[in-house]
């Protein structure tokens, strides 16, 4: 089954133009499924049954996996078996009639404008690391891009003159503008910090770690946790918290829903609309009056 999973992953890359993160996610989910099925004595996709897959879903739920995680792993399985069926490897699709568990929609956690200001102000030093950290935090809040997109940016993706970045997701790309604060932080980083961090190395990555290598998602996670703690923010802050805050602050300041959807790269408008539930309209007007990312 592992060979079929490898073929499917290659199909995602070459035919669907899926990003490396998407490929890795599917592969990880499917390999975990394959291990479970092998323990049942099923080593070939042709022998997988609906009953076996249902047992797998029940196993995940018994392990305490969140509904969203179970749904994602089932979606990976459905995509895989649908691919195998269409390739003629299966006479029937065993996952076709299996339904995902209901997902309880959670209201996104956002920071107040004041909390964001405190967070950004903590990265105010002049060392190469602090200049890089400030640039990354400012750019993340000013654009609302995903942390995977942030660490994957290349020098050619940023256009300082007109103030926008180009985000790549497989074969798709979108242009996202950023404001003055992010532009100034980026200019200081590029002028004073990127060279010292590279330590003589050459790379196309926009942001690097302190050894001049590629910045990882985990590395940036530690950065935002560090500054969140220093800023005294009680909310469990993650890189996605700034993405949520960017979206909510724009919408709550009257930005066009479709425009925010485009900037975030949401395929479904309903996903963007979820941010309007973060806070009541009356509180919005009082708490976020005049708040605009990047200003």
CA dist 100 and 72 (Å) reads: 9
Buried b (16+ CB within 10 A) or exposed e, 159-183: eeeebebebebeeeebebebbebbb
Residue 195's contacts (CB-CB under 8 Å, 6 or more residues apart) are: none
CA dist 287 and 113 (Å) reads: 8
Any idea what DSSP says for residue 87?
T
Per-residue pLDDT reduced to its tens digit, 238-272: 878 888 888 888 877 777 778 877 787 776 666 67
Per-residue pLDDT reduced to its tens digit, 160-189: 999 999 987 666 788 899 999 999 999 999
Percent of the chain with pLDDT over 70: 86
pLDDT at 286: 43
Q: Is the pLDDT of residue 128 over 70?
A: yes
**Segment holding 167, helix H or strand E:** strand 164-169
Higher-scoring residue by pLDDT: 99, 76: 76
Any idea what DSSP says for residue 127?
S
Per-residue pLDDT reduced to its tens digit, 26-61: 999 999 999 999 999 998 999 999 999 999 998 888
Confidence of residue 282 (pLDDT cuts 50, 70, 90): very low
pLDDT at 287: 43
The pLDDT mean for the chain works out to 84
CA dist 260 and 295 (Å) reads: 16
Quick one: tokens of 177? Answer: 């503008």
Angle between helices 128-143 and 180-188 (to 10 degrees): 150
pLDDT at 113: 85
The region of weakest confidence among 123-137, 167-181, 270-284 is 270-284
- CB 190 within 8 Å of CB 207: no
**Segment holding 174, helix H or strand E:** strand 172-177
| Helix%, strand%, coil% for the chain, nearest 5 | 60, 5, 35
């Amino acid at each position: 089954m592992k060979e079929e999973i490898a073929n499917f992953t290659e199909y995602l890359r070459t035919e669907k133009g899926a990003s490396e993160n998407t490929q890795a996610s599917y592969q990880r989910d499917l390999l975990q499924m394959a291990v479970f099925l092998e323990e049942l004595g099923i080593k070939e996709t042709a022998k997988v049954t609906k009953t076996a897959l249902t047992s797998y879903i029940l196993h995940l739920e018994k392990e305490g996996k969140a509904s969203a995680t179970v749904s994602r792993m089932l979606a990976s399985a459905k995509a895989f078996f649908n691919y195998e069926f269409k390739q003629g490897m299966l006479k029937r699709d065993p996952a076709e009639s299996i339904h995902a568990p209901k997902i309880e929609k959670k209201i996104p956690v956002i920071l107040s404008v004041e909390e964001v200001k405190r967070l950004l102000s903590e990265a105010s030093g002049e060392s190469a690391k602090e200049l890089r950290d400030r640039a990354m935090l400012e750019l993340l809040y000013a654009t609302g891009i995903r942390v995977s997109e942030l660490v994957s940016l290349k020098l050619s993706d940023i256009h300082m003159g007109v103030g926008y970045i180009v985000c790549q997701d497989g074969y798709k790309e979108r242009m996202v503008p950023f404001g003055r604060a992010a532009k100034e932080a980026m200019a200081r980083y590029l002028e004073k910090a990127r060279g010292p961090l590279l330590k003589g190395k050459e790379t196309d990555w926009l942001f690097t770690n302190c050894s001049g290598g590629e910045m990882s998602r985990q590395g940036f996670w530690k950065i935002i946790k560090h500054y969140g703690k220093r800023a005294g923010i009680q909310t469990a802050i993650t890189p996605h918290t700034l993405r949520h805050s960017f979206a909510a602050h724009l919408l709550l300041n009257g930005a066009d829903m479709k425009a925010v959807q485009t900037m975030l790269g949401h395929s479904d408008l309903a996903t963007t609309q979820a941010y309007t539930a973060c806070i009541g309209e009356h509180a919005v007007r009082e708490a976020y009056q005049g708040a605009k990312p990047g200003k």
